[in-house]
Structure 1
Amino acid sequence: MTDVTAAAQHSFTINLSILFTELPLLERPAAAAAAGFTAAELWWPFGADHAPSQAEQDELRKAFDDAGVRLTGLNFLDDLTKGARGTVSVPAESERFRENVPVTAALAESFGTKALNALYGNRVAGVDPAVQDGLALENLVLAARAAHEVGAILLIETLNKVESPDYALVTAEAAIEVVDKVNAATGLGNARFLCDLYHLARNGEDPAAVIDAYADRIGHVQIADTPARNEPGTGELDVEGLLARLTAAGYTGRIGLEYKPSTGVSADSFAWLPRELRAAK
């Protein structure tokens, strides 16, 4: 990115579940700080088969505190390593999701985290999609209320059908519909759209048109270049233009860096973003 004007209008947060993965999780906040970042986000950082112990939570909190990095975003329970794409709408996982809701909310409160992402889940063979959608609404209502209690928003995300062909929400319109249903059910208005520009582009949608249509319901933005999901400037996506469009549309939230470093070395992937713009505003 040679013209940094668009980037300068935004505050950035680095996703430590996809960046600095060459390091153990507890070392990543310090690595982010060394690269100039003061805010980070995580997918669900603990094992999916158990609730995190107090010691595990304390270790994670200490790693962030010692590094001087804020945890600005956190996912509810998920296990991406097994091909799952969320537990919200999956009948066999519903109990685990509901048990995780207060755990995630309490963890977010202790960190001061204000954005909680709930991945919708894959379609399940033999299960009526309407049944899954009804279950998802019930679970998202619980999540939205729990998020509200700790002063956080609930994020609903579109993934792309190339990498996640069974995921239920593969258009911005589908995610927005869920956002609107959750807000109507709770009356809280804290369900928001997680606008991931990479996933939108990989789905063949026009990210600029999505921004124009749904800016008022965007709660968070994540970026990666297409098609390889590397840092901006390595592919086909006009990240600079889209950041400028977000500014023009009135978006003032954070921009999450959720990409894979093209060289495999995270510290080498930030040249597109001048160091003075990396610290969160």
Structure 2
Amino acid sequence: MRPCACIDTLYTELPWEERFRAAKQDGFEAVEFWDWRSRDLDLIRASAEQAEIKISGFNGDADFSLIDPRHKQPYVAFLQQSIAAAKKVGAESVTIHSNALGSNGEVLHNYPELSETVKLCSMYDTLRACARLAEEHNINIHLEALNTTTDHVGNFLQHTQMAAEMTGLIQSPKLKILYDIYHMQLNEGSICDTLDKYYDQIGHIHVADAPGRHEPGTGEINYMNVFRKLKALQYTGRIGYELFPESNTQQAVKAIKLYWNMSNEV
């Protein structure tokens, strides 16, 4: 299990370009962030190379929705731009969602005028085009379900089952799901059973405790059991710590290290 720091939530006490080195010094194997459009891509690549840390990825969709059939062409066109940005900085993946999200993660439109059938079929159709693009450019795409109780009210893709069955039907080695433990604890629970059932479709994992979205140990999730399950499943992918420190990054990293060291001893 390779630890990855989200530098839009961790190390925010530091200037952007210093966060890469700080994450490396704390033992993270890679970094990730949210929106590439507002960033200096040359600075990102240079900062990562100087710190000798990898870039896992960032969001690849932005203003368009998978569930709107009218968005298929612009969605795929923007994803192509995101893939080009990923290649420029040396990132290995991009993350996508069912609905367009605002700057604070709010769902911009939940499409009450569209039926569930239209939304589902549109998502499947556009995802197939996304998968072809990913294979063509040899980059990973991760489809993420989001919680609808707290952070992303109105988001269509809410459950692991729908996301994993969708990627399983498409059967692309470059299209997997991003399983966010915080989001899915709020929406569905049963974390370890879910990992057992859909392990083969998971390409990336996000960690934060719930409620609060802070570091492990601050909420109700038994992360020792979760990491024990991942170890039993022989998960070798990245675990992205996309969490907001309860007090500061230094204290959050201490908790993160405590859990990953204990899990390595199991």
- TM-score normalised by L of structure 1: 0.80
Determine the structure 1 residue equivalent to 2:52. 68
Q: Structure 2 regions of 5+ residues with no counterpart?
A: 100-106, 262-266
1:94 and 1:21, CA in 2 relative to 1: closer, same or farther beyond 3 A?
Answer: farther
Q: Is the 8 A contact 2:61 2:95 kept in 1?
A: no
Which of 235, 247, 259 is the matching residue for 2:231?
Answer: 247
Pair 1:30 & 2:21 matched: yes
Q: Is the 8 A contact 2:97 2:157 kept in 1?
A: no
Determine the structure 2 residue equivalent to 1:125. 112
Task: Write out aligned runs for 1:51-130 (5 A).
Answer: 56-78=40-62, 87-90=65-68, 94-121=72-99, 123-130=110-117
Q: Distance in 2 between matches of 1:57 and 1:111?
A: 6
1:106 aligns to what SS in structure 2? helix
Determine the structure 2 residue equivalent to 1:192. 176
- Deviation of 1:250 after TM superposition, in Å, equals 2.8
Q: Is the 8 A contact 1:44 1:77 kept in 2?
A: no
Q: Structure 2: which amino acid aligns with 1:179? A: T
CA deviation string 1:216-236 (max 9, x = no partner): 111111111111110011111
Q: Is the 8 A contact 1:159 1:169 kept in 2?
A: yes
Count the aligned residue pairs.
250
Determine the structure 2 residue equivalent to 1:7. none
Q: Distance in 2 between matches of 1:138 and 1:24?
A: 41
Q: Is the 8 A contact 2:163 2:177 kept in 1?
A: yes
Pair 1:235 & 2:226 matched: no
Q: Is the 8 A contact 1:17 1:45 kept in 2?
A: no
Which of 151, 160, 163 is the matching residue for 2:147?
Answer: 160
Q: Is the 8 A contact 1:38 1:68 kept in 2?
A: no
Q: Distance in 1 between matches of 2:79 and 2:55?
A: 18
Q: Distance in 1 between matches of 2:113 and 2:33?
A: 32
CA deviation string 1:118-176 (max 9, x = no partner): 11115312123322333322322222222223332221112112122211111111111
- Deviation of 1:95 after TM superposition, in Å, equals 4.7
- Deviation of 1:112 after TM superposition, in Å, equals 3.6
- TM-score normalised by L of structure 2: 0.84
Q: Is the 8 A contact 1:13 1:37 kept in 2?
A: yes
Which stretch has the larger CA shift, 249-258 or 147-156?
Answer: 147-156
Higher RCO (CA 8 Å, separation ≥ 6 residues): 1
Determine the structure 2 residue equivalent to 1:4. none
- Deviation of 1:92 after TM superposition, in Å, equals 6.5
Which stretch has the larger CA shift, 190-199 or 88-97?
Answer: 88-97
Identity %: 27
Q: Distance in 2 between matches of 1:167 and 1:209?
A: 23
What is the Cα-based RMSD across aligned positions, in Å? 2.4
Which of 10, 14, 30 is the matching residue for 1:19?
Answer: 10
2:243 aligns to what SS in structure 1? coil
Q: Is the 8 A contact 2:44 2:89 kept in 1?
A: no
Which of 187, 199, 215 is the matching residue for 1:203?
Answer: 187
